[in-house]
Amino acid sequence: MSKVHVLPADVISKIAAGEVVERPASVVKELLENSLDAGAKRIELHLKEGGKSLVHIKDDGSGIARDDLDALFTRHATSKVAAASDLEAILSLGFRGEALYSVGSVAEVALRSRAQGSAEAWEIAVKGGEKARPVPATMPSHGTDIRVGEIFFNTPARKKFLKSDAAEFEQILNVVIPYALLYPERAFLVTHNGRTVLDLGVAASPAGRAAEALGLESRHIIAPKPIEDSVCQLRMLLGDINIQRPRRDLQYLFINGRPVQSRNLSFHLNEVYKLIFPPAVHPFFAVMLTVPAGDVDVNVHPTKREVRLRDESRLAGFLRRVVEQALMSGTSAREVTADRPEAFSLTSAAPGAADGRAEGVPAAKLVFAPNQRSVVPVFIASDESVRPAVVNDLTTLATPSEQLTAPFITETSVTLKDRLATARLVGTFVRKYHLFESGESLFVVDQHAAQERILFEKFRRQIHAGKVEVQHLLTPLVMNVTPQEMLSWENSGERLSSFGFEVEQFGPAALALRAHPAVMPNPQQALRVLLAEGELTRIDVDVLASRACRASVMAGDKMDAAQAAHQLQALLACDDPYTCPHGRPVFIELKSSFLDRQFLRT
């Protein structure tokens, strides 16, 4: 007897359905994508028991015509793809014609729809793959209404593996929220067991939507101008230094309008934030990338979560650079005029926030902004790291568990500069921090961050003036290089010389450094960092300058008192003395009144 036989149709359908429908969240994903594909402007999602007993979706999209109902819930029935060539350039979220069929084979479904331009509505019921005949129904306007109940009633093994209602509901939110971020111009309502959980009206801006959907302050979200060129389009929302998460739970990546996961791209994005973040905290970002349809393959897995990209490492490099640049220009400190008295907070102003800047202008920052809602910013020490945070009431933090260490600047930066100018060096702590005293305050200056800022401004000024001061070396410094570094040098000679680096080839695998920018204490290290970038002419000059400076001050140099005092004066001469080029704070202020409180003297 032969062992090989073709499976019966009902077994085939359950296997296929199993790949698409893993849990209630998968049903939500498929139905939501259909509603979005249908151009719905408002989507309502009503759930019961984590979606296990009911997923009910209502949209005001184009609807489904009576003639199309008979084909619905049949495998490979789709309106979105007709020929194999269409797969090369998929513009809709759906394309396989599998979702409804799969949902219909593992659940009980009632679908009602009224097509745009039609006066009639129809309803069709399906249970475990068995379709009933469509019957007339009534609907006030066009759109589609689908109820999915009894998920996995005929696959008990799968039903057993479902998690608690709360866990399943969380998964559903994880599906809905990325789409809410992607479509700020559409409204979303989500209820669970009759309770409204998300009610997002049409948002004024992508940042506004993200703030509302994720419970963030929109002034902490940087929305750089979208980048559009022939190869790709990029829109981004980037949390600033004030949004620090213990988990990577607010990180969203979209490729060609589809939420995707990519360990590689997400690794690189997190790396950029390490320039400004303390260890063990993670940023918020939503990165929406559009590349030519031919460069991305979404047809890897039925759930379409994974995508394959052509030239992924080049793309990662590009992303790194633009995010770094956006953070740099988006988080530089801003001075405010002295006419607003007292209480200025270290916080971030979102584009279009209270200060009236236009939306999309990449000027969101770490600023000394007027404190309008009695928000007192503080730095809180946790373990090794110093974490800036904004709290509403200073007293709420004065508990032992919270270890409050330093209220931040509460005055205009003009008088702040004056006070710092006359500050007296008290000493240096762990070779990293200079302590200055001025009046009733102790200023703790991060020596490296300060040095980075000073170098960067000096170097940048010289580069932009086309007059980089060069230090010639009597004996060239010879560096062994990798083939990639050699290639990068070959492609970047011009940019390197405009930066003041004179480099020659020295044998097949070495370069000789003959001259370097005079401001750089550690030029070899800086050169190494630049060569790691590949083709330097493609990268923004300020980004390169900041990286070179950062690399150049890495060493934990010891400074004597005169050097420390000199550093402070050089810092105060900077345009932007309060943060490092990437936006990390350069110093914090500890007021004596604060210490008094810690010692219970008041």
Ligand X SMILES: Nc1ncnc2c1ncn2[C@@H]1O[C@H](COP(=O)(O)OP(=O)(O)OP(=O)(O)O)[C@@H](O)[C@H]1O
Q: Binding of ligand X at residue 30 (CB under 6 A)? A: yes
Choose the stretch contacting ligand X; rule: CB under 6 A; options: 28-36, 184-192, 215-223, 472-480.
28-36
Q: Binding of ligand X at residue 61 (CB under 6 A)? A: yes
Residue 452 near which of Mg ion, ligand X, none (CB within 5-8 Å, type-dependent): none
- By residue count, the chain amounts to 602
Q: Binding of Mg ion at residue 581 (CB under 5 A)? A: no
Q: Of 24, 50, 51, 63, which lies in the binding site for ligand X, with binding defined by CB under 6 A?
A: 63
Angle 554-243-403 from CA coordinates, rounded to 5°: 80
Number of residue whose CB is nearest Mg ion = 94
Please say whether the dihedral angle defined by the alpha carbons of residues 390, 393, 399 and 403, taken in this order, is positive or negative.
positive
Residue 35 near which of ligand X, Mg ion, none (CB within 5-8 Å, type-dependent): ligand X
- The pattern of x and - marking residues 11 through 50 that bind Mg ion according to CB under 5 A reads -----------------------x----------------
Q: DSSP letter at 90?
A: -
Least Å from the CB of residue 33 to Mg ion: 5
Q: For residue 175, which of 5, 299, 26, 338 has the smallest C-alpha distance?
A: 26
Residue 438 near which of ligand X, Mg ion, none (CB within 5-8 Å, type-dependent): none
Q: Of 21, 28, 55, 64, which lies in the binding site for ligand X, with binding defined by CB under 6 A?
A: 64
- The pattern of x and - marking residues 438 through 457 that bind ligand X according to CB under 6 A reads --------------------
Number of residue whose CB is nearest ligand X = 94
Q: Binding of Mg ion at residue 61 (CB under 5 A)? A: no
Long-range contacts of 264-269 (CB under 8 A, 24+ apart): 264/312, 264/313, 264/316, 265/312, 265/315, 265/316, 265/319, 268/316, 268/317, 268/319, 268/320, 269/319, 269/320, 269/323
Least Å from the CB of residue 146 to ligand X: 7
Closest to ligand X by CB, 63 vs 352, is 63
Cα(160)–Cα(152) distance, integer angstroms: 9
Residue 457 near which of Mg ion, ligand X, none (CB within 5-8 Å, type-dependent): none
Residue 62 near which of ligand X, Mg ion, none (CB within 5-8 Å, type-dependent): ligand X
Residue 121 near which of ligand X, Mg ion, none (CB within 5-8 Å, type-dependent): none
Q: Binding of Mg ion at residue 94 (CB under 5 A)? A: yes
Please say whether the dihedral angle defined by the alpha carbons of residues 184, 189, 192 and 195, taken in this order, is positive or negative.
positive
Q: Binding of ligand X at residue 98 (CB under 6 A)? A: yes
Residue 291 near which of ligand X, Mg ion, none (CB within 5-8 Å, type-dependent): none
Residue 302 near which of ligand X, Mg ion, none (CB within 5-8 Å, type-dependent): none
For 283-328, give the DSSP string: --EEEEEE--GGGEE-TTSTT--B-EETTHHHHHHHHHHHHHHHHH
Q: What are φ and ψ of residue 506, in 5° steps?
A: -135, 80
For 449-511, give the DSSP string: HHHHHHHHHHHHHHHHTT---EEEEEEEEEEE--HHHHHHHHHHHHHHHHTT-EEEE-STTEE
Q: What are φ and ψ of residue 562, in 5° steps?
A: -65, -40
**Sites of contact with ligand X (CB under 6 A):** 30, 33-35, 38, 59, 61-64, 72, 77-80, 94-101, 144
